[in-house]
Chains A and B, each alone.
Chain A
Amino acid sequence: MADLLTEIEAQIVGAKATAAKQNVGVICEIGDGVARIEGLSEAMLNEMIDLGHGITGLALNLDETEVGVVILGDYTQLEEGDEVRATGNLLQVPVGKGLLGRVVNTLGEPLDGKGRVQSDVAYPVEKLAPGIIRRRPVTQPVQTGIMPIDAMIPIGRGQRELIIGDRSTGKTTICIDTIINQARLNQAAEVAGDKEFRPLYSIYVAIGQKQSSIARLITVLEEAGAMPYTIIVASPASDSATNQYLAPFAGAAIGEWFMDNGMDALIIFDDLSKHAVAYRQVSLVLKRPSGREAYPGDVFYLHSRLLERAARVGEQYGNGSLTALPIIETQEGDVSAYIPTNVISITDGQIYLETDLFYQGVRPAISVGLSVSRVGSAAQLKAMKQVSGQLKGDLAQFRELAAFAQFGSELDAKTRAQIDRGKRIVELFKQKQYSPIPVEVQVAVLWAVQNGYVDDVPVERIKDFQARLTEFLTLRKAELLQKIAQEKVLSDALVAELKTVIDSFKQTWK
């Protein structure tokens, strides 16, 4: 006991009182989730401000004598005249594998009732995108499991591919299918003990969506067993505009951790139209000058700095990647509106979904003519490239000829054959939601199409043919599919085997 007291006394003698300098200010105006603060002479842009009562703010406007702070929390507790403090920290979110399977808000706080998020690392929400030196070309594929995308608009790891279309055209469904397919591939590799396989983790950022829609999405992912590989950052419509504005940046920070640590991640921003609206609201209450459609002048920079964070980095910089699938909702199919044109010009391609196609029963309602992938073809599997080379051209020609054929004019045999082939491809590309197709099955089916095996199949029986062929291949010729998946290229021997297998199937199919 005497030793302990001596020890304490020695520590007291050695202790030196220090008073750290703090930068403070006073709230002079508050409303609409924004406070104007006098003082805070040393506040930094995007610095977290301690507003008292456990509430945090974010310094967004630095004027000569005032600071405009957006409040991340319940601002009704704050009053004019309250003293606030600069924290010296930028806004950060917890990152790491501990977030997998969790639903969190913009600040990384759990929303799923599963307790504290297991993470001891935090990343700043706003971060500079990797520069030219750190990047390397996109060469690895992201298998979405959606046949028209994997065949015609391939996406690579590190790419930014926009999904654009009117409301209720299946934009979110494409993303959910992609997440489910990644989970399926990750699980299969884990079971097989494949050390070479690079798992792709998914981050879904819900911005300004209905809580019921988010809940439904979580249920779908849970039922498909995809949640263990997925993180959901939710900022629903009931959240403040500030939280909605920050949510995609928080999601990007979470994704960057995977990229920096040699892993691959996929991030979905659903959707950036609502994000732009939230940012417009924040800017207007901050009294920033407004421009076209009342959006602030930096709305392009808002999305470009966000999407530039998606990249594939070199081996000495982590050897990871972050693939971004931003979603934009158009009004009446108008792709030339302000925000859609901005995001189209930022991304490396777009998948355009058409309402007309959707109601014609072509689902996913991908418009082949307007959809493009600018860098993904370098990442496409060679086997897929071999079987899908002419598909996009064939389909585009089909659409043109089909429109012409509507006039009822007589058609020559060649044109009729092209139209027939097109009808069959369209039918083949129809796919049920939440049921992604493995790439080896896609390759085998497309090979059959390219080699005329479906030319004599009636259009209305194409889906039945495809289902039976898939069943035949999966149950009876699994080793052939395995060879395609492993070799990733259709060698002469594989082609010969494929021919024999499909010939034998064709004999039994009625």
Chain B
Amino acid sequence: MKTIRQVKREAKHLFLLCLVNGSVDEGRVRQVVASVLRIKRRGYLALATQFERLVKLERLRHTATVESAAPLPSDLRANVEASLVRLYGPDMSTSFAESPPLIGGMRIRVGSDIYDGSVKAGLAALEKSF
């Protein structure tokens, strides 16, 4: 039986094979997944799941979600995108969403980093300070 540790190690190895110049190559990822599912070695499902998790985490690191209470004007969007590229590198994909509960301001999430400048967060901080 394969241990979790072995599965993690092998998934990490496969993931490293998919990196080209520090970025994930989609073609290689598809190739790896197809091979794992075709060969069906012992514990292949756990391996594929762990591999998928690594790819997902890597994608999240390069995906920014910008939430705002009202739609943002295009110049502001461009400004935000440029700032994110400056901070996190060129291969960033940014998505914009509306979230009225924020009341005002903006909330940006990139991987496990959050920049919360919304009115909702300000009110929550104020409440906590009391």
Binding site for B on A (CB under 8 A): 17-25, 38-42, 64-65
B111 interface contact, C-beta 8 A: yes
Residues of B within 8 A of A40 (CB): 112
Query: How distant is the Cα of A432 from the Cα of B66 in the complex, in angstroms?
Result: 73
> Binary interface profile of B, 89-118, with partner A (CB < 8 Å = 1, else 0)?
000000000000000011011011111110
Shortest CB–CB separation between residue A179 and chain B, in angstroms? 40
Shortest CB–CB separation between residue A246 and chain B, in angstroms? 24
Given A17-B105, A17-B117, are A23 and B53 neighbors across the interface (CB < 8 Å)?
no
Shortest CB–CB separation between residue A447 and chain B, in angstroms? 66
Residue ID in chain A nearest B54 by CB atoms: A65
Partner of B112, one of A17, A20, A24: A24
Instruction: Tally B residues with Cβ within 8 Å of A.
Output: 15
Residues of A within 8 A of B78 (CB): none
Cβ B105 vs Cβ A23 within 8 A: no
Residue ID in chain A nearest B60 by CB atoms: A39
Residues of A within 8 A of B108 (CB): 19
Partner of B113, one of A18, A23, A38: A23
Residues of B within 8 A of A21 (CB): 113-115
Residues of A within 8 A of B54 (CB): 65
Residue ID in chain B nearest A289 by CB atoms: B5
Shortest CB–CB separation between residue A501 and chain B, in angstroms? 69
Residue ID in chain B nearest A86 by CB atoms: B112
Partner of A18, one of B12, B112, B117: B117
> Binary interface profile of B, 48-84, with partner A (CB < 8 Å = 1, else 0)?
0000011001000000000000000000000000000
Query: How distant is the Cα of A17 from the Cα of B106 in the complex, in angstroms?
Result: 11
Cβ B111 vs Cβ A41 within 8 A: yes
Known: A19-B106, A22-B113, A39-B112. 9 other contacts (CB 8 A): A17-B105, A18-B117, A19-B117, A24-B112, A24-B113, A38-B57, A40-B112, A42-B112, A42-B113
Shortest CB–CB separation between residue B92 and chain A, in angstroms? 16
Shortest CB–CB separation between residue A465 and chain B, in angstroms? 68
Cβ B117 vs Cβ A65 within 8 A: no
Cβ B112 vs Cβ A65 within 8 A: no
Query: How distant is the Cα of A17 from the Cα of B119 in the complex, in angstroms?
Result: 10
Query: How distant is the Cα of A204 from the Cα of B35 in the complex, in angstroms?
Result: 62
